[in-house]
Chains A and B, each alone.
Chain A
Amino acid sequence: MNWNRLLLSGIFVWILQLLLADFLAINTVRPDFIVIVVLYWSLRYGRLIGIVFGFLIGLLVDLSGTASFFGLSPLTYSITGYLGGSLMGKYSTMGLLYFSLAWIGVLAFSFLIFSMVQYQHIFGVNTFLFWSKWIATSFYTLCFAGILQFIYPIHKTQ
């Protein structure tokens, strides 16, 4: 395993998120490049690396100006790392369709946890708005993950 490559890719994506997220915002929803890189790491290096690096980069995200729920990003990225790591080496048995659905599900679940915490009161007040928030947040990031498949398909990490 190349530790330098892992660290550099993490720092590069963090800076990318820091500088570009606001430019790409649509009605306060921004793409999350970091969750994509955590998924790639975990699929390539397994659960342990996924969890540890997910936690560390999540900490870095929360230190970059999070107002409340300090610790939510390490939690969601660690879960992404764990679930992504579970898919390691499964491409050959699952096939392209189910493998793709599985990693899309992992990303969607990660955003569901984020939304459940951040929009817990909206869930009680307006359930439709809550689900639309979750779908919008997940879908926007999934679009970027989808574009990335043309450049570096996720199953190539296997």
Chain B
Amino acid sequence: MAVVRGKSTEFVAFLTSPLTWVKSMMYLEEENQLLREINLSLTLQVETMLNLDKENQELNEMLEFKSKTNLKILPVRVVNKGIQPNLLSIIIDAGTDDQVEPNQPVLTAKGVIGKTIQTNKTASIVQLITDVNYRISVRILPSGATGILRWVGGGKGQVREVQKNVEINIGDKVRTSGFSDIYPAGLPVGTVAGVFDERGSYQKDVIVTLPTDLNAFQYAFVVIDRNNELE
């Protein structure tokens, strides 16, 4: 069955790729302008970060602490966003030929959007964060509270069963926890939008805003190697 699904995915990717190309051309100018603005902003940030990195290295040397992130990331294009009445999966133009395998994280510049679940030579199916079967282990910063996030509609996710005594505020960053075999630690997931404290319960629920607009994105990244995540 996996072979049939793989071959059909490749066929669909082939069939829809010309239309995707036309669509990407339509947004090219707008995207270019946006990228120029981001580029300028990032250049300024890099200057600051270079200074901070140098300072960090010096401090690490003092503490003899060795930490280095070395994820191998593959840029991919979205060739199809599924055929069902609701957006739950996408097809990307990379497969086993590009070292893409099932259960690899897929993200945009804003955050995690899903994981690969079915791969073939030149195309793969990605299960999106909006799928009912999708779960992701997250850590809320700066408190460090962990939990399992799932989508609850309207661009929001929910982290249930967070310890009640942990202080969580609106705007706190939500990152992958690193407890999962799939997701390396520290990938951006979203920001805290609300905290619900149930009376009589030992836990609280956290609502998270997921930053990526699943309607609009056309490019993504696949983390194809996380073996060297921490050296």
Chain A contact residues, CB within 8 Å of chain B: 14-15, 17-19, 21-23, 25, 27-32, 34, 61, 63-70, 73, 111, 114, 117-122, 125-126, 129, 133, 137, 140-141
Contacts and interface: CB of A to CB of B under 8 A. Distances in A.
A143 B18 CA distance: 28
Contact of A65 (B91, B132, B150): B91
Interface of B: 4-5, 8-9, 12, 15-16, 19, 23, 80-91, 117-118, 125-128, 130-133, 150, 152-154, 158, 214-215
A54 B19 CA distance: 27
Nearest to B118: A67
A125 B125 CA distance: 28
A28 B86 contact: yes
Q: Which 5 interchain pairs have the tightest Cβ spacing?
A: A67-B89, A67-B127, A63-B8, A28-B87, A32-B85
A119 B118 CA distance: 22
10 contacts: A18-B80, A25-B87, A28-B86, A30-B86, A61-B84, A65-B9, A67-B89, A67-B131, A122-B153, A140-B85
Contacts of B117: 67-68
B154 A129 contact: yes
Given A28-B130, A118-B88, A65 B82 contact: yes
A125 B90 CA distance: 26
A111 B83 CA distance: 14
A97 B185 CA distance: 59
Given A18-B15, A129-B153, A73 B84 contact: yes
Nearest to B130: A28
B154 A114 contact: no
A122 B132 CA distance: 9
A32 B86 CA distance: 9
Contacts of A111: 85
Contacts of A73: 84
A123 to B, nearest CB: 10
A19 B132 contact: no
A121 B158 CA distance: 11
B88 A133 contact: no
Given A122-B152, A129-B153, 8 more contacts: A28-B215, A63-B5, A65-B12, A65-B90, A67-B89, A67-B128, A126-B152, A126-B153
Nearest to B1: A70
A129 B207 CA distance: 15
Contacts of B133: 67-69
B8 to A, nearest CB: 4
B80 A63 contact: no
B158 to A, nearest CB: 7
Nearest to A128: B153
B132 A137 contact: no
Contacts of B15: 15, 18
Nearest to A111: B85
A18 B132 contact: no
A140 B87 CA distance: 14
A111 B85 CA distance: 9
B216 to A, nearest CB: 10
A29 B16 contact: no
Contacts of B19: 19
Contact of B126 (A31, A67, A70): A67
Interface-central residue, A15, A17, A22, by most chain B CB under 10 Å: A22
A17 B83 contact: yes
Contacts of B5: 63, 70
Nearest to A117: B132
